[in-house]
Amino acid sequence: MDLLEYQGKQLFARHGVPVPRGGYAATVEEALDVADGIGYPVVVKAQVQIGGRGKAGGIKVAQDRDEAREHCEAILGMDIRGLTVHELWLEEASDIASEYYASFVFDRSAKATLAMLSTKGGMDIEAVAEEDPTAIAKLHIDPLLGFQDFHARRLCFEAGVDADVVRGVTVLLGRLYEAYEQEEAMLVEVNPLIVTGDRQVAALDAKVTLDDNALFRHEENAEMRNVSAEDPQEVMAKERGLTYVKLDGDIGILGNGAGLVMSTLDVVAQAGGAPANFLDAGGGSKAEAITSAVEVILSDPKVKAVLFNIFGGITRCDEVARGLITAFEQIKPTVPFVVRLDGTNDKEGRALLAEANLANVHTVATMDEAASKVVEVAR
Amino acid sequence: MDLLEYQGKQLFARHGVPVPRGGYAATVEEALDVADGIGYPVVVKAQVQIGGRGKAGGIKVAQDRDEAREHCEAILGMDIRGLTVHELWLEEASDIASEYYASFVFDRSAKATLAMLSTKGGMDIEAVAEEDPTAIAKLHIDPLLGFQDFHARRLCFEAGVDADVVRGVTVLLGRLYEAYEQEEAMLVEVNPLIVTGDRQVAALDAKVTLDDNALFRHEENAEMRNVSAEDPQEVMAKERGLTYVKLDGDIGILGNGAGLVMSTLDVVAQAGGAPANFLDAGGGSKAEAITSAVEVILSDPKVKAVLFNIFGGITRCDEVARGLITAFEQIKPTVPFVVRLDGTNDKEGRALLAEANLANVHTVATMDEAASKVVEVAR
Amino acid sequence: MSIFVDSDTRLCVSGITGREGTFHAMNNRRYGTEVVAGVTPGKEGQDVEGVPVFNTFAKAVAETGANTAMVFVPPRFAADSILEAADAGISLVVCITEGIPAHDELRVYTHLQRSGDVRLVGPNCPGILSPGKANVGIIPASFFKEGNVGVVSRSGTLTYQIGNELAQRGFGNSSIVGIGGDPVPGSSFIDVIAEFEADPQTELIVMSGEIGGSAEEEAAEYIAANVSKPVVGYIAGFTAPPGKTMGHAGAIVSGSQGTAVAKAEALEAKGVRVGRTPTQVADIAVEILGG
Amino acid sequence: MSIFVDSDTRLCVSGITGREGTFHAMNNRRYGTEVVAGVTPGKEGQDVEGVPVFNTFAKAVAETGANTAMVFVPPRFAADSILEAADAGISLVVCITEGIPAHDELRVYTHLQRSGDVRLVGPNCPGILSPGKANVGIIPASFFKEGNVGVVSRSGTLTYQIGNELAQRGFGNSSIVGIGGDPVPGSSFIDVIAEFEADPQTELIVMSGEIGGSAEEEAAEYIAANVSKPVVGYIAGFTAPPGKTMGHAGAIVSGSQGTAVAKAEALEAKGVRVGRTPTQVADIAVEILGG
């Protein structure tokens, strides 16, 4: 789960990471109240889950109340790379002497957390990484020992942090790691991490990705989920425990297990088709899950045919068949279905389907055959 | 540093370990206010750093305000095995169905923390350990992995905890370990850990020993130090950075390094003397520390002679000599001193002493000689 | 021969009293796996169709000599169960549970790596099947028979698909190992391939990967340097949507690694033939071993 | 020969710019120890009487090939400094600092044990002297000369006392190792005695213990099983006040272990002669090796 900037900053603040004073607003009037409380100049920041807000005009400094109103009115409702701004964060203007970059990210390859620090913050850090990899100091953290002060000092000295703020950056990094670990984030990123004119350090931006699997331990974080910002079909799928990603094509795909679904997309593409989605019904899918899945797939009006590719292990094919039959009863789909069932209880599943004799459902024996068939019926 | 029961319970509560509701009082009137707030029946508990309070009459249940007054008056000022009761803790009376025992202790031999749990709580656990060692479930904790739920369950099932409170005890133990580790305790001990009639668990007593070396990280805990309960000479020594333990004899001993001081006590005892104290002036002792040390030793009126046994490594003998000379100027001791200086700058130290020509100071060459001499002059 | 599980396997199932736990434990037993114990705290003294249940792994191991654990408990309890099994002296832990928090996986992985000889397979994996010998997990065993092809896969259902394609061509398997696709799998492609290389029964190794991470690229390096047996690869996800990159930091970490194309090319560069569909994988196997 | 430190030692001193750090670093260098670097964060580019100072151990090791660290920083920074030295590839860390929190020591000890080949001596120890070769720490070297007696001790000043008694009888030392008396010493009596047993120069081992803990009892067992060279023991604290017991739990843990009498008896039961005073230790050494 990705947090908005203001959510990330609130999470940082809980762990003592210094952030500028600020407040949240969803309307212009709320925003002006917040701005008055902070005092002027004040920074008005669009809260959307996308980079490049500044360039798009989503971040503005206001010198007084009138200017603040002007900026808030301009930014609320603004479209930033396809996302509409519904929320604002206002904060005190910072006196920036230097801009650094800091992050902790869960590095799967290394099976460890990677810590990064650079004095070339405030700009596109990926570009920095490409042009001058030595400008980013990196090291991996032992998860059982944790991030130690010496790690922070090493990053600071390697990155070339100003000597007088090494202590401040060391403390900030320690707290940032605490936030990362205790909140079970997959990423915490601060760009820029600023040094102010009076040599204080603070996180001027916050990018936080939390581990969805760990949200059950963090109620406060689970509540931050911003459903409105997500694709409605993906939300629908998530609420039903399904993994769904919308694609551009017209063939709806359902499978069990991410690998098999990915493989199905590949095989359909090789057969000349264009998948409309990725939908993993998961291990042990029950009939209800299958019914829900059909609903999610068909909620995309572009879908011209649907492919069910099931190889049952923990999933039982009879459950899948039952779910499909229920879906037909409830939704009465008009597009053709191609169904391939193999694995646990496949005979029972196929028998159920044969018995139900659903209109427009083609049962096939192999995955390759299923792909050819669905491409054919989608034409 | 040992905490009083109420301090331990407050520390527990900070980590979510359930403890009965209660309050602190230093006078009868305060106590009655607290008792009124809690309601009756209420338990009045003497706060002294010693076991066996209950048997000595230091813990009483009061059914009403009059009885509470009676108990508070009896307990405040009471002498329990040599300690005067100056403080009270009052708490709600608990409905006790079972009494368990739980502890985490820093086990030097194993270089790990030992967790212990027994269902034979509420009594002398050392006696239980002797009579029926299997009645205490034990296991060691990996400090990097920490105390896991499975450790707690294993202790519960091995100790024979009632099945319906295994979950509750598991949670309590997890929090107790958190308190132990995060507060950097050398010991947390709960005896009894009670199960109430409605099957809740709570810590009815709290014995906590904190690591003095870690107090700099725990301001809140450092403030709990109860100076009045300590021996005034030991407090004086501690304030001056010296390790001092009072003994029963009449020969004051000063050395540098715990091992050398212990060895000096042994050699003096073998020479027929009775040491009056253990005083380790520490590594790198400066002149001021030596002067302070003389003050501390001579504050014990029983001291008839003083032995200085210094083998300088980080400590420089000239500093020791200077400190002794200053002490003679300031305190003008009347008892004889025997001084043995060896190690770093020993020649300079001996020269300074020779030059100062202090009355009643005997300089000797070896430790054995020093012991014989001090026993002789103490007669 | 086979790897990891065989007729010496003595299985203890964590979560045996749950619906899925019971179902698959019994399924494994019917296949011939020796299921000697189950663990469910508070249910000691009960049995599940004759399999005794214990409160702790320590007791289960002491009483039954269990040497292998299958973990079937919900995600919030799974890390604890793996650690408990390892602490009790179990030498192979197969974790089926899906959805374990990533930081839990990281701590468990690091701890097991440091503290001894416990092998973890999974989490979020279908388990291990050694046809004709033992099945530990949820792999539908009826599709597979004993043979000379070792299969290792990040994906469960894809494993069955590939195994099935091979079976249709008449190939059997020494062992089929699902390593799972979680952020921190206990065993990697390399760990499993090394075992297949050493296993006399295995004559061909099939590895089935997918987009994300760099495990396939690392395996390619390892195979080139250490493996004498033929290896056939498969990568799923050529047409998959780009995965979630974790901020700019994520992009810096992974670089250009992780795409299906990059993985297939990495394998082919090291002489591993890569099938573009499960069917092609079987076709290549026929070419190598003879039909 | 000698153990731990010798003419191959390349010393890096953590806290070299502090008063005590400078004093003892220079003292060690005057003795002949190769002091190649110092570490003080923020002071890189400076030097201490010609010894270059670095911000980090990583850089100090990279630039100077330091292989041994001496830690002299205040207690709140000491654990971090030990870990930093180990992380940078230092193989021997000698920690002089006194007063390190016990939980810090426990974590450091456990981490170093698991993660490789770093030896820690101390904390709260006087260091290691190999007479005629190198001195790392605060042992006053002028009292000792090269010879065939290895000394290992929990106490600093007592080490000098015993060493001095031996010197007065004409004995020199292969190495003198102070292991420190802290709750979790990085090296134990056993670790050091094993090295002396293997060191051809050492013909007699003197171990000086004190009340508390069970390290001496464990050493007695180890000596009986593994040590062929004569060992003379000393235990301080026969008349010491009873130590702080840590509650009832502490009493249960330690049982009757830990008293001077128990320790001396444990050693004597395993054939180790125990002197009752430092002078007696020297007398026994004379008997064993000849005066």
Model confidence at D256, pLDDT cuts 50, 70, 90, reads low
Residues D153, D108: one domain?
Answer: no
Same domain, B83 and B137: no
Q: B44-53, D32-41, D131-140: which has the minimum mean pLDDT?
A: B44-53
**In this predicted structure, what is the pLDDT of residue C94?**
98
Lowest mean pLDDT segment, chosen from B32-36, C256-260, D251-255: D251-255
Confidence of residue C247 (pLDDT cuts 50, 70, 90): low
| Residue at C69 is within a domain | yes
C258 and C161 together in one domain: yes
**In D115-229, which residue ranges form alpha helices assigned H by DSSP?**
156-168, 189-198, 215-226
Chain B partners within 8 Å of D18 (Cβ): none
Q: Please report residues of C whose CB lies closer than 8 A to that of B154.
A: 56, 58, 84
Domain that holds residue A52: 21-92
pLDDT classification of A232: cutoffs 50, 70, 90: confident
Instruction: Please state, in angstroms and rounded to a whole number, the distance separating the CA atoms of residues C78 and C80.
Output: 5
Q: Which pLDDT score, from 0 to 100, does residue C253 have?
A: 61
The pLDDT score that the predictor gives to residue B283 is: 65
Measured between CA atoms, the residue of chain A closest to residue C23 is A314
pLDDT-derived band at A228 (thresholds 50, 70, 90) equals low
How many Cβ pairs within 8 Å bridge chains A and B? 3
Burial of residue B170 (number of CB atoms within 10 Å: 0-12, 13-18, 19+) = buried
C109/C114: higher pLDDT: C109
pLDDT confidence band for C251 (50 / 70 / 90):
low
DSSP single-letter state for residue B2:
B
Beta partners for residue B209, in sequence order: B2, B187
In the three-class reduction of DSSP (H, G, I as helix; E, B as strand; rest coil), residue B247 is classed as coil
| Predicted pLDDT of residue D248 | 63
Are the beta carbons of B314 and D238 separated by less than 8 Å?
no
Q: Which residue has the tokens 């779910």?
A: A323
Q: What is the CATH number of the domain that holds C212?
A: 3.40.50.261
Residues of C in contact with A221 (CB under 8 A): none
Q: What is the CATH number of the domain that holds A321?
A: 3.40.50.261
Place of tokens 């630039």: D63
Distance from CA of D263 to the nearest CA of B (A): 14
Query: Which residues touch A376 (CB under 8 Å, ≥6 apart)?
Result: none
Number of domains in chain B: 3
8 A C-beta contact, residue A104 and residue A113: yes
Work out the angle between the directed axes of helices A65-75 and A28-38 (0-180°, nearest 10). Answer: 140
Same domain assignment for residues B243 and B328: yes
Give residue A201's pLDDT band: very low, low, confident or very high (50, 70, 90).
very high
C226 lies in which domain range? Answer: 144-289
| C104 and C156 inside one domain | no
Say whether both C161 and C277 belong to one domain. yes
**In-domain check, residue C269:** yes
At which of A42, A69, A92 does a domain end? A92
Total domain count, chain D? 2
The answer on A130 and A53 residing in a single domain is no
Residue pLDDT, tens place only, C144-163: 999 999 999 998 888 889 98
pLDDT one-digit tens code per residue, A284-318:
667 888 888 999 999 999 999 999 999 987 788 99
> Are A370 and A236 in the same domain?
yes
The complex scores an ipTM of 0.92
pLDDT of residue B45: 97
**pLDDT, tens digit, 9 for 90 and up, residues C57-102:** 999 999 999 999 999 999 999 999 999 999 999 999 999 999 999 9
CATH of the domain at C27: 3.40.50.720
State the CATH number of the domain containing residue B59: 3.30.1490.20
Please tell me if residue A286 touches chain D, with a CB cutoff of 8 Å.
no
Q: Does residue A239 share a domain with residue A370?
A: yes
Is residue B255 domain-shared with residue B372, that is, in the same domain? yes
CB-based contact (8 Å) between A182 and chain B?
no
For range A69-73, the mean pLDDT = 96
The overall average pLDDT reported for chain A is: 92
pLDDT at D246 over 60: no
Same domain membership, residue B144 and residue B108: yes
How many angstroms from the chain centroid is the CA of residue B231?
A: 11
What residues of chain D lie within 8 A of the CB of A157, using their CB? 41, 44, 55-56, 59
C230 touches C286 (CB < 8 A) = no
Q: A39 pLDDT exceeds 60?
A: yes
Task: List the structure tokens of A143.
Answer: 């998860």
Give the distance, in angstroms, between the CA of residue D237 and the centroid of all CA atoms in the same chain.
Answer: 20
Note whether residue D132 is domain-resident.
no
Give the pairing of strands B136-141 and A337-343: unpaired
Residues B120 and B78 in one domain: no
pLDDT digits (tens, 9 = 90+) for A1-37: 899 999 999 999 999 999 999 999 999 999 999 999 9
Q: And the tokens for D191?
A: 């670790």
Q: Which residues contact C113 (CB under 8 A, 6 or more apart)?
A: none
CA distance C258 to A107: 13
What's the average model confidence in pLDDT over A338-349?
A: 91
Closest Cα of chain C to D93: distance in Å? Answer: 22
Exposure string of A120-129, with b = 16+ CB inside 10 Å and e = fewer, is: bbbeebbebb
DSSP B305: E
Q: Which helix (H) or strand (E) holds C127?
A: strand C127-130
On chain B, the residues whose CB falls within 8 A of the CB of A145 are 144
**pLDDT tens across D174-214, in order?**
999 999 988 899 999 999 999 999 999 999 999 999 888 88
Domain assignment of residue B15, yes or no = no
List strands edge to edge, sheet with D127-130: D134-137, D127-130, D173-178, D146-153, D204-210, D231-236, D273-275
Q: Comparing C-alpha atoms, which of B313, B297, B314, B310 is closest to residue B352?
A: B310
- Report CA dihedral (A158, A160, A161, A166) to the nearest 10 degrees: 50
C133 occurs within a structural domain: no
Taking the C-alpha atoms of residue A60 and residue A42, their distance in angstroms, rounded to an integer, is 8
Contact D244/C at CB under 8 A: no
- Per-residue pLDDT band for D250 (boundaries 50, 70, 90) equals low
* Rounded average pLDDT over C190-217: 94
Could you identify the residue written with the tokens 């007729």? C7
User: For residue D129, is it within any domain?
Assistant: no
Residues B175, B281: one domain? no
Q: What angle do CA D158, D164, D167 make, to 5 degrees?
A: 145
Mutual angle of helices A258-270 and A367-378, in 10-degree steps: 60
Whether B251 and B166 share a structural domain: no
B13 domain residue, yes or no: no
Q: Cis (ω within 30 of 0) for the bond into D140?
A: no
Same structural domain for residues C165 and C237? Answer: yes
Chains touching D (at least 3 CB pairs under 8 A) are A, B, C
Note if A87 is an active site residue: no
Q: Is residue D137 in a domain?
A: no
Looking at the domain assignment, is residue A74 inside a domain? yes
A74 reaches C (C-beta below 8 A): no
Element housing C4 (H / E): none
| One domain for residues C115 and C194 | no
Chains touching A (at least 3 CB pairs under 8 A) are B, C, D
Residue C262 and residue C163 share a domain = yes
**Same-domain status, C106 and C179:** no
In the stretch 105-124 of chain C, residues with CB closer than 8 A to chain A read 106-107, 109-111, 114
A309 neighbors A329 (Cβ within 8 angstroms) = no
Q: What pLDDT was estimated at residue A257?
A: 84
| Distance from the B18 Cα atom to the nearest Cα atom in chain C, whole angstroms | 23
**D5 is a domain residue:** no
CA distance B345 to B322: 12
Task: Spell out the residues 6+ positions from residue D282 whose beta carbon is closer than 8 angstroms to its own.
Answer: D162, D165, D166, D168, D169, D171, D275
Confidence of residue D219 (pLDDT cuts 50, 70, 90): very high
Q: Is residue D127 part of a domain?
A: no
> What is the rounded CA–CA span in Å between residue A68 and residue A60?
9
Q: Which residues of A touch D57 (CB under 8 A)?
A: 150
Distance, in angstroms, between A102 CA and closest chain C CA?
Answer: 9
Q: Return the exposure string of A83-112: e unless at least 16 CB atoms fall within 10 Å of the residue's CB, then b.
A: bebebbbbbeebeeebbbbbbbbbbbeebb
Are D75 and B213 in contact (CB < 8 Å)? Answer: yes
What separation in angstroms does the CA of A136 have from each of A115, A166, D222?
A: 10, 16, 50
Q: From CA B121, how far away is CA B105, in angstroms rounded?
A: 17
Q: Note whether residue A15 is domain-resident.
A: no
- The nearest alpha carbon in chain B to D72 belongs to B314
Distance, CA of C59 to chain centre: 26
Beta-carbon separation of B105 and D183 below 8 A = no
Given an 8 Å threshold on Cβ–Cβ distance, is A106 in contact with C160? Answer: no
Residues D158 and D29 placed together within one structural domain of the fold:
no
**CA pair distance C112, A87, nearest whole angstrom:** 45
Report CB contact under 8 Å: D213, B260. no
Give mean pLDDT in consecutive 10-residue pieces for chain B, a chain of 379 residues.
94 98 95 96 92 87 96 94 91 96 94 96 84 93 97 98 97 98 97 96 96 94 74 79 87 91 94 92 77 91 95 86 92 94 90 92 92 93
Rounded distance between C-alpha atoms, residue A312 and residue C160, angstroms: 8
Q: Which residue on chain B is closest to A143 by alpha carbon?
A: B144
> What is the Cα–Cα distance from C282 to C232, expressed in whole angstroms?
9
- Predicted local confidence at residue C257, as pLDDT: 63
The DSSP-derived string for A84-135 is E---EEEEEPP-EEEEEEEEEEEETTTTEEEEEEES--SS-HHHHHHH-GGG
Which CATH number fits the domain that encloses residue A111? Answer: 3.30.470.20
Residue B125 lies in a domain: yes
Query: A with D: how many residue pairs have Cβ under 8 Å apart?
Result: 33
C273 interface with B at CB cutoff 8 Å: no
Rounded CA-CA distance A137/A158 in Å is 6
CA atoms of D124 and B149, how far apart (whole Å)? 35
The H or E element containing residue B358 is none
Nearest CA in chain B to C109: B145
Do B68 and B132 fall within a single domain?
no
- Does residue D255 have a pLDDT over 60? no
Contacts of B143 in chain A (CB under 8 A): none
Instruction: Single out the catalytic residue among A100, A101, A180, A244.
Output: A101
Q: How many CB pairs under 8 A join A and C?
A: 197
Instruction: Give the residue-averaged pLDDT of A241-250.
Output: 87
Nearest to B208 by CA among B233, B176, B237, B240: B176
CB contact under 8 A, D158 and B125: no
Judge whether B211 and B219 are in contact, CB under 8 Å: no
pLDDT tens, residue by residue, A157-187: 999 999 999 999 999 999 999 999 999 999 9
- Average pLDDT in the C17-23 region? 93
Report yes or no on B7 lying in a domain. no
Q: Give the end of a domain, one of B222, B257, B280.
A: B222
Shared domain check, B261 and B123: no
Whether C165 and C271 share a structural domain:
yes
Domain boundary among B92, B112, B141: B92
Q: Cβ(D70)–Cβ(D38) under 8 Å? A: no
C248 is known as an active-site residue: yes
More confident of the two residues B195 and A134 = B195
